Copies of this chain bind each other. A is one copy, B any other.
């Protein structure tokens, strides 16, 4: 097993465009230190006891106010639970909600590691195709009928509707509304992975599915991993009160208390700090600039036949390869050329080898441009050899 401190350690000589992680240099170490100090000073031993199962009351209030500042809809306090980040939230939801004959609908492609969480839970997966407006939601309705005809239960939709991982696309507003109608008709619960809401570059993010939901069919998972720091493992869930209560009533929270009690107090103080708005505005500006640099460099470096859509926010851009070239086969020569990516097949149940995912947040502009150039050269070489 690896013995590094952190998950992502760049290999020597490789520009790791596979990474989906904030730039280490942009992690707000000093402000986190002050927030940790203040949390311990003001809460004292209550910062170190078993946290309340739904999360500390003060953190839930902060999250509620924070979400109200982002969108038109303010959650009730009973609709807010603190989580140990989106992955842990998804994991616990699957434990609590998923029965053996239940089917989970996912976008194709979807977030590759979300797929791994789903597979660990032995979820029956049914992909739904995407186009440039996001998930083809009318196909979802057909697929739900087909699933039911097989004697299985359509249960969950796992979706990243805003600055989708890996495509960077957002679900259109019309489709958002239609998805909610379908979910209500088909008795589906929609798990909305809303990791990138605050990281829009051109115009504010579209409204969350949760904020549009009048039928009580959406569980929205949000996170401080992209805006404050992944290592604090703090996020939130907004859901109908009954779902939120079921989550907070999990045995693992009754036994262990809130999953990130101390860290969540730190993250809560950060969210409520005067500096928060400036900090996130800075991230938007910087990551937006990096998106521009990577997209521009790819436009120059990629040979004809490659495709790409400029994302309006988030962490990623997806590149489709010229006919006949497979991302899985390209990975080794790309690494030799000094650049990595996530092959598209990792985020799909089947297929996906025609595409790859690049992240633009971890590196500064010169490395991004160099990475794009190396990738372009690797693709050209592969085409020449084929």
Which residue numbers of A lie inside 8 Å of B, CB to CB?
Answer: 1-8, 21-22, 24-25, 27-29, 32-33, 36-37, 40-41, 43-54, 56-58, 60-61, 77-78, 81, 84-88, 90-92, 95-96, 99-100, 111, 113-122, 225, 229-233, 241, 244-245, 248, 250-252, 254-263, 266
Contacts and interface: CB of A to CB of B under 8 A. Distances in A.
A258 B6 CA distance: 9
Contacts of A47: 29, 231
A248 B1 contact: yes
B255 A87 contact: yes
B24 A45 contact: yes
A78 B120 CA distance: 21
Contacts of A8: 49-50
A49 B262 CA distance: 17
B259 A229 contact: no
Contacts of A7: 49-53, 257-258
Shortest 10 CB-CB contacts between residues of A and residues of B: A116-B251, A87-B256, A113-B255, A48-B229, A3-B57, A87-B255, A117-B251, A231-B261, A27-B45, A7-B50
Given A91-B252, A231-B262, A233-B262, A24 B49 contact: yes
Nearest to A251: B116
B52 A259 contact: no
A21 B5 contact: no
Contact of A49 (B57, B86, B231, B261): B231
A201 to B, nearest CB: 23
Nearest to A84: B259
A86 B255 CA distance: 9
Q: Which of A229, A252, A261 has the most CB of B within 10 A?
A: A252
A129 B256 CA distance: 26
A227 to B, nearest CB: 12
A361 to B, nearest CB: 12
A32 B120 CA distance: 35
A36 B46 contact: no
A45 B262 CA distance: 18
A232 B116 contact: no
A95 B250 CA distance: 14
B5 A52 contact: yes
A117 B37 CA distance: 33
A48 B21 contact: no
Q: Which of A1, A29, A262 has the most CB of B within 10 A?
A: A1
A248 B2 CA distance: 10
B230 A118 contact: no
A2 B45 CA distance: 19
A248 B27 CA distance: 25
A29 B33 contact: no
Given A51-B231, A86-B256, A119-B251, 9 more contacts: A3-B77, A4-B52, A7-B49, A7-B52, A29-B48, A49-B229, A84-B256, A90-B252, A120-B252
A109 to B, nearest CB: 15
A22 to B, nearest CB: 8
Contacts of A32: 40, 48
Nearest to A22: B49
Contact of A50 (B84, B117, B230): B230
Contacts of A25: 45
21 contacts: A1-B241, A6-B51, A6-B261, A8-B49, A24-B46, A25-B45, A27-B45, A27-B49, A48-B231, A84-B233, A85-B256, A88-B259, A95-B120, A95-B121, A113-B255, A116-B250, A116-B254, A117-B255, A118-B251, A119-B251, A262-B263
